[in-house]
Amino acid sequence: MLIKIAWRNVWRNKGRSLVVIGSIVVGIWALLFMLGFMNGFTVSYINGAIEHEISHIQIHHPKFKQDYDIAYSIPNGLSLKEALSSDPKVAAISPRSFANGMISSTRKANGVRIYGIIPELEKHVTHHDSLLTAGTYFESKQRNPVIIGNELAEELKVDINSKIVLTFQDEDNNLVAGAFRIAGLIETSSPSINKFTAYVKMEDFNRIAGIGQNIHEIALFLSSPNDEAPLMDKLKKEHPDLLIESWRTIAPELELFLSMTDSFLWVLFGIIMIALIFGIINTMLMAVLERYRELGMLMAIGMNKWRVYMMIVIETVFLSLVGGPLGIIIGLATMNWLGIHGIDLSAYSEGLKAYGYDSILYPSIENNIYIFVTIGVIITALIGALYPAYKAIQLNPTKALHTV
Amino acid sequence: METTVAKKIVIKTENIAKTYHESKIPVQALKDVDLEIEEGEFTAIVGPSGSGKTTLLNIIGGLDKPSKGKIIIGDTDISNLKESQLIDFRLHHIGFVFQQYNLIPVLTAKENVEFIMLLQKKSEKEMEERAMKLLKEVGLEDKAKVRPSELSGGQQQRVAVIRALASRPKFILADEPTANLDSASAGNLLDMMARMNREENMTFIFSTHDQRVIDKARRVVTLEDGMIKYDEVR
């Protein structure tokens, strides 16, 4: 009966209840949208970095990253690469040789990171073949092809087929140089690739550097991000003499960004829930004051305080149970639609690109967030109900019965 | 030889006083009221406005506490009960009828009648049978599924009365039960309560101004300035 009364009380003042339900719906939808939007931003940023630049795991000689000295190659690097490529957790693997150097055109010179890659393997790790804006991904027969970022090309004032010279130090610290022809231009979400990176074939790089089959980096792209931790543990155990790092260590700013976004989302969640609490308190206080005499009568005829208290709490929970799922369904539908079609932010693409974002944002929310929001709304409703319910049981039945 | 069987005293107030301190000047609503009510009485407490009728009724019903004195209902001294105990006491021993009917607007007539029995955790079957029997007795059987807003004032008050009676309390306290009713409705209601009083041997105490109630009462207690001025048994 308590539940029946509480449910009917919800619909007693339909207008007011619908306003509260509406505010719960809009609040939850807004919360889910913001969570999805922010999460989409984070995922886009981090995935962009993993898929086009860092990959999930990288392996180096332990001393290599101290000075990026070309002498510190991975011992038996290519054999290790062969062994790792048979691991089912590894979706793609790319061995790289590397040097910091100089790129020069006839017009200008610039500092650059030079990667010697095996294009057939590299394209499955960094997916740069899908980011070409001009030329091909090492498909032409021309000698010494190089792929650079759009912005670097603009800086050097070069285009497809333009000749550039890459200069770097070999193992003996002698300066060596090679002439390359631009085979393709790429545009990634990574400013460092767009402005400061050049990709050449490993055979060309290693020949000029005189390092034979040596490699300096092995990049692993995993089948699932969840495989990262177990594979890291396994690799560290099997190869204690190598530097094995996940993207979290390689790019700590991504990890920081992730945790900052997490904190921001918590703050946002808190703000919306607090606003919801005050909305609920306001409505339920009105409902209690409006029914002052009726509540007094209930206590006069023998309804104890606990039941009166629970009646108000149940009534409030009903309000949120109507509004909550509705808000979640609308939020879910919005997320699904936007997850497929995305939000076109191309009007701001220049600014977004500078920070490593794509111009189309795909909001996304993990399923457990919906459950989390549902529980959050119910807890919020319960908290919001406490004060009005307390006010209800504080009334004096004698006085309440004489209120008009 | 003619013998008189002494009736059991079921309500006893001893030296009851009540002072309200809600304004700067204390208001003494009751002064040393001693009153004994026997089982099955049909008593009207009358008096001008402000004489203390409602205060006395509220104190007898455990809705208010006296500033001084004792109030014994049955075997229980309710002046010493805690608030939660008083609520429980009211639930199981006292039925209230209010001037404003005070039905629960979101429940139907039948659900309103069942409500107190529900709080007493009576069985579904017992509640259903009792509610329908009482609704039939007051001619509202066909209004069982109707909400109070669709009933006339007289019909609402009849539902309020049978709600109070439904759980078979020992006492019915009615505060100006006919004040908002027309003559015909008031007459019907009083006849009904008189019948219940006879048939169920419940003790009825009214606080009233209404001459129609006073005429029906078998005892009239007149209050003036918070004190009993007359106590007339008919």
pLDDT tier at B229 (50, 70, 90 boundaries)?
Answer: very high
- Same domain for A353 and A267: yes
**Does residue B4 lie within any of the structural domains?**
no
**Does residue A250 lie within any of the structural domains?**
no
Of A184, A210, A241, the residue that ends a domain is: A241
Which residues in A have their CB inside 8 Å of a CB on B?
1, 4-5, 8-9, 12, 293-294, 297-305, 307, 397-398, 401
Number of domains in chain A: 2
**Does residue A269 lie within any of the structural domains?**
yes
pLDDT of residue B6: 63
For residue B98, the distance in angstroms to the closest alpha carbon of chain A comes to 9
For residue A381, the distance in angstroms to the closest alpha carbon of chain B comes to 22
Strands (E), B39-137: 42-46, 68-73, 76-77, 94-97
- For A37-60, the pLDDT digits (tens) are 888 888 888 888 888 888 999 999
**Does residue B79 lie within any of the structural domains?**
yes
- Same domain for A208 and A268: no
- For A85-125, the pLDDT digits (tens) are 999 999 999 999 999 999 999 989 999 999 999 999 999 99
Structural domain for A219, as ranges: 62-241
- Same domain for A68 and A46: no
Structural domain for B185, as ranges: 9-233
- Same domain for A270 and A168: no
pLDDT tier at B137 (50, 70, 90 boundaries)?
Answer: confident
- Same domain for A288 and A159: no
User: In the predicted model, is pLDDT for residue A71 greater than 50?
Assistant: yes
pLDDT of residue B50: 87
- In percent, how much of chain A has pLDDT > 90? 50
pLDDT of residue B1: 46
More confident residue, B5 or B60: B60
Q: Is the Cβ–Cβ distance between A93 and A84 less than 8 Å? A: yes
pLDDT tier at B153 (50, 70, 90 boundaries)?
Answer: confident
Q: Is the Cβ–Cβ distance between A20 and A280 less than 8 Å? A: yes
Structure tokens at B147: 């909400």
- For B160-195, the pLDDT digits (tens) are 989 998 988 989 999 988 888 788 888 888 888 898
pLDDT of residue B2: 47
Mean pLDDT, range A217-241, rounded to an integer: 93
- Same domain for A261 and A184: no
CB burial of A356-391 (b: ≥16 within 10 Å; e: otherwise) equals bbbbebbbbbeeebbeebbebbeebbbbbbbbbbeb
d(CA A18, CA A84): 60
* Residue A5 one-letter amino acid: I
pLDDT of residue A61: 95
- Same domain for A375 and A322: yes
- Same domain for A390 and A295: yes
Whether the CB of B119 is below 8 Å from some CB of chain A: the reply is: yes
More confident residue, A200 or B188: A200
**Does residue A177 lie within any of the structural domains?**
yes
- Same domain for A317 and A387: yes
Whether the CB of B88 is below 8 Å from some CB of chain A: the reply is: yes
Q: Could you say which of A8, A301, A305 has the minimum Cβ distance to residue B106?
A: A8
Q: Mutate one of B64, B65, B87 to test the A interface: name it (highest A CB count within 10 A).
A: B87
- For B66-96, the pLDDT digits (tens) are 999 999 998 889 988 888 899 999 999 999 9
Of A241, A267, A286, the residue that ends a domain is: A241
pLDDT of residue A269: 87
Q: How far is CA A269 from CA A27, A348, A369, B114, B150, in A?
A: 10, 27, 11, 44, 45
- For A367-397, the pLDDT digits (tens) are 888 888 888 888 888 899 999 999 999 988 8
User: In the predicted model, is pLDDT for residue A169 greater than 80?
Assistant: yes
C-beta atoms of A304 and B88 within 8 A: yes
Contacts of A298 in chain B (CB under 8 A): 104
**Does residue A246 lie within any of the structural domains?**
no
Contacts of B61 in chain A (CB under 8 A): 300
Look over chain A and give the mean of its residue pLDDT values, rounded to a whole number.
89
- Same domain for A218 and A296: no
Whichever domain contains B203, its CATH number is 3.40.50.300
Of A207, A241, A275, the residue that ends a domain is: A241
Out of A136-140, A252-256, A344-348, B12-16, least confident range: A344-348
Q: Could you say which of B64, B91, B118 has the minimum Cβ distance to residue A1?
A: B118
- Same domain for A136 and A81: yes
Residues 6+ apart with CB under 8 A from A178: A144, A165, A166, A200, A204, A208
Number of domains in chain B: 1
pLDDT of residue A147: 96
Whether the CB of B67 is below 8 Å from some CB of chain A: the reply is: no
Out of A279-283, A344-348, B209-213, B227-231, least confident range: A344-348
Per DSSP, the three-state class of B188 is helix
- For A294-340, the pLDDT digits (tens) are 999 999 999 999 999 999 999 988 888 888 889 989 999 998 898 88
- Same domain for A231 and A170: yes
